[in-house]
Amino acid sequence: MADSGTSNQPAALSEATATATATATATAHVGLLSHPAHLISFGFGCGLFPYAPGTIATLWAWVIFLMVDPFMTDFSWALCIGGGCVLGAWACTITGKALGRVDDGSMVWDEIIAFWLVLWILPKASDPAGIHAMGNVPEWLIEAVGFVLFRCFDIVKPAPIRTIDRLSRDGWGVMLDDLAAAAYTLLTCAVLLRLAHLAEGWWW
C-alpha cells in the first residue's frame, strides 16, 4: 500500500498549480494599466506573481512601511490606512467584476493595507510606550513575528475570517477578511509580548 502522505503530495502540488494557472488565466485579459482600479487591486504588480502573490505583497508592504514610516505621524498613518480601505473596496469591486471572481488571489491590496495596520500598531522603539511594551524584544523580531502570524491567519482563515471571505460580494468583503486577520495578528502579538515580560520576570 502506498503511503498516504506521499500519495497526497502530487494532489497538493496539482491543486497549487491549478490555482496558479486559474489566476494567470483570469488576469490575462485584465491589464495592470488598463484601469486605475486594477493597478491598485493588483498591488502595483505584486498580485501578478504566479506563486504566493499575497506573501509577495505583504513583503512589499513591509519594505514600503520601513521606508516611509520615519516621515509619518500617527494621524497620517490613520488617514493613509483608512483611505486605503475605502480606495481598496472601490478598486477590488471593479477588478473582481472584471475578473469574474469577487476575491481573486491576484487582488492583494487588502494584504498591503492590513499589514500596514499591523506594523503601525505594533510597538516601536521610537515610542516611549512602545519601549515599555517591547521589553527586551527587538523591534525587527516583533515585526517578523507579525509578518508570519499575519500570513498564517490570512491563509488558514480561522472564524470569522473564513465566513467573511465566503460571504464576500464586493470589495468591502475583500478588505474586511484581511483586516480581521490583522486583528488576530495584533491580539496574538500582544499575548506573546505579555508572555515575554512574564518570562523575563521569572528568569531575572
CB 154 within 8 A of CB 184: no
Residue ranges in the chain whose pLDDT is less than 50: 1-19, 203-204
Residue with cell 496539482: 14
d(CA 36, CA 43): 11
Instruction: Give the span between the Cα atoms of 38 and 34, in whole angstroms.
Output: 7
- In this prediction, residue 88 carries a pLDDT of 96
Give the model confidence (pLDDT) of 101-153 as tens digits.
888 889 999 999 999 999 999 998 777 766 667 777 889 999 999 999 999 99
Q: In a 3-state reduction of DSSP, which class is residue 48?
A: helix
Give dist(CA 17, CA 7) in Å, integer: 16
